[in-house]
Structure 1
């Protein structure tokens, strides 16, 4: 049974190859490597091989309007249509109507129910103390932090980051040093990739969330998009080389955004689903956000 690393990219869709699409205009060799030499655009041809699957999947979930992070992520990480349950797309936080779903039926909760001990499940992101103060004051958990805590998966903090047992939001830690701890040591994207891969030494399932892609999309700033995607490309290039052969990498998103800098809003474009490694063919027939978590859990229960 493979170990699974799930890398979630917020706000990355597969849109037309226009001048407003940085995924079409930038040189991103690691992204192309994950897509069999193709750019991440609407023209991407699906790949369905035993150890390599790349397919576009629907993020609209049968509803009108623009997909949002709260219900999109709740759907992605539970396999249930959270947008339909709520009656519309909603974000950025999960609405009260779907918080019980996230807490009780997340990928973390389902894997624990399948017999994976919570201590063998990891959420790799590091959070500063002020994050917890804000959450406790406002009660506004993100989908991923609610899913983890409800399933008994601890959220990582500054000590984990210092011990290189967690990743900062920007991978390198430059933002952490600038805004949180001036003494924090900055690292390269390659070092971040090796730290993430190392968590698989003693975990069966590891989730990492990267949200700066969505921030860059909302900014409509080509330079910011290029900086974010360039950093991610260096990270993925090192990660693909660092992963042991028995690890399955799964990558997906919740809605489109970054692929169209011509608009500040989200898009209705499909999002990518990449599975790289043993068990990848379990994702070959996925068609929407609904299909990702069931395929992950099915690796343990199928």
Structure 2
């Protein structure tokens, strides 16, 4: 059952305040992740593209002006970037679209490979073409698969994106699934506007990296803010808080993220209009000190 829902409101995302992404792009702190628009899982069947278009348009109606996509978000001919273009072009002046490059799809459509430095320009150009833009607002170098970050140098690949930024094809750069050493390596090459790592109310392993981002004014944008099926949220452990606010576990988890740091940007994703409405209602929740204690703070 979806709670705390008011379909007539059009300002849910705006209630979370703004963050200056890269120091010059104001975005509402509650955005939208587009990964689940073409399919529920990377190996699942393709979803109806018309539903994806409807979800995107409703997200913008609800105040979203930060949409997170990726070159590899596609399934059986349903390509997220093309859905975004069909739904939202010509783009509003305040809409910020972030994308990711790095992973390559195998024959089953799973992002199991990884692009080398010589392949990144082509991936960036594909994003430009499918989104229908001359410059990308934010491009992350997504490192590795679902394994823990760290252990490899990202300098050669990040340097390619830095060159594309100098050419004017990219406005801001980010890194995803990195550790502190990889972030430092990237920052020695070019400014980093955002970090996208796994993080949620019950998965706080990157708290140290979040603190570094907060100190330096870098956006921290967790992927799988609700668990994503890999580290799922235990709703039972949150029962006291959800009951107190008459909210869902997803709503409380998103509210906790937004309250945890001023540089936190939440990008919950869904292919369902109902779940979209539910997630956006998180912007209305204000957690109390007792809530934070109950949630493990």
With normalisation by structure 1, the TM-score equals 0.35
Q: Which has the higher contact order (CA 8 A, sep 6+)?
A: 1
Please identify which structure carries the higher helix content: 1
With normalisation by structure 2, the TM-score equals 0.35
